[in-house]
Amino acid sequence: MSAPAAELQGHLLTPQGWVRGQLRHAHGRIVAVVGEPVDERTVGPSSLPRLLPGFIDLHVHGGGGHDTMGGGDAALQMARTHARHGTTSLLATTMTAPRDEIEAALRALAPFVTTRPRGAARLLGVHLEGPYINSGKLGAQPDFATTATLQEVLALHTLAPLKLITIAPEIPGHLALIVALRKHGFVVQIGHSAGTYEDGVAALEAGASGFTHLFNAMTGLHQRAPGMAGAALAHAERAEIIPDLLHVHAGAIRAALRCIPGLYCVTDSTAAAGMPDGEYRLGRHTVTKCLGGVRLADGTLAGSTLTMDQALRNLVGLGLTLAEASRRTSTLAAEHLGLADRGRLAPGAWVDVVRLDRDLQLTGVVVEGETIEL
């Protein structure tokens, strides 16, 4: 993949299954996928490359030493780092902070959403993870949680397009706000919540469509108090999960896979992703990368160093087929945002492609028809 080509060849994962053949494209869009259908059992031992839809990450705080809240060209550098790990589109994710800091971050992000720079993943918009969360479930978020209003959300949306908003529904006024946000077209997730099982069910009924980093920073499952985690397992159609095997035990991931049809993977990655051990910024926090994780000074997990290519390998290691792992690192996230032209290798979709060898190591990335230098 040294240069954009009119044709990519190998074993291609299409919505209908695996095809041994060619993907033809022009002007950044897929024109056709041609070839013969093959069973996934024949793909594994083959020396041909595996071509999958590019990864889609809806929860990214940073990468390559740069933090979303940092302003300047932080978003560009972050998007370039993740593109080299197969992420072809992402949501830049904010931290809980005073409003003026959030506004400044959104203004800095906006130009990179409007125009994708060369060598970078597409910034689809913003995941507003804070500040509309519960101060009792901050996780690694700074303590600037506040109550949301529709007027404020719409004002922030004018600065950069908000695609996904995390809310703690038990905060007074937030349940009604979920209804209003859905009417305005925002995707709403439940997260950083001290709410009960009943609060979670009510939020889903109000229009919330998922859970932010399932199991983390929410009330857990107890047999007599199922909590937010129980509401997700019992009722959710979609939720995001961090499969770095630090944030969530492999057994809990397997339980979620059995319960939630639209469980999709995110990295929750920080500036430390793709970087050596050391200290980095996460919003107002200084965090330390060591032993494969990122933590605050008190030991609290503070985002991750995960990249989506490793997330895919982790899922396969848990027993998922490559096709199913691809669906949960790409297609389901696209569907969650209502994107019909990403997350699939099909005519009319963007040419967002990752190429893997038989060991599932990344050997090529194409973003909207542009070959990314690894």
Catalytically active residues, by annotation: 268
**CB 237, CB 301: distance < 8 Å:** no
113: tokens are 């959403």
Burial label for 76, CB within 10 Å (0-12, 13-18, 19+), is buried
Residue 38: DSSP 8-state: -
Orientation angle between helical segments 197-206 and 227-235, nearest 10 degrees: 50
Q: Cα–chain-centroid distance for residue 123? A: 11
74: tokens are 């932080």
Q: How many CB atoms lie within 10 A of CB 111?
A: 14
* Cα gap 257→351, rounded to integer Å: 28
120: tokens are 């970078």
Q: Strand 87-93 relative to strand 122-128: parallel, antiparallel, unpaired?
A: parallel
Q: Which has the closest alpha carbon to 337: 13, 59, 7, 14?
A: 59
- 347 upstream amide cis, omega within 30 of 0: no
Dump the DSSP string for 67-81: EGGG-TTHHHHHHHH
Residue 60 β-bridge partners: 92, 269
Residue 56 β-bridge partners: 89
240: tokens are 């995001």
Residue 89 β-bridge partners: 56, 122
Q: Give the CA angle between residues 188, 193, 197 to the nearest 5°.
A: 90
**CB 49, CB 97: distance < 8 Å:** no
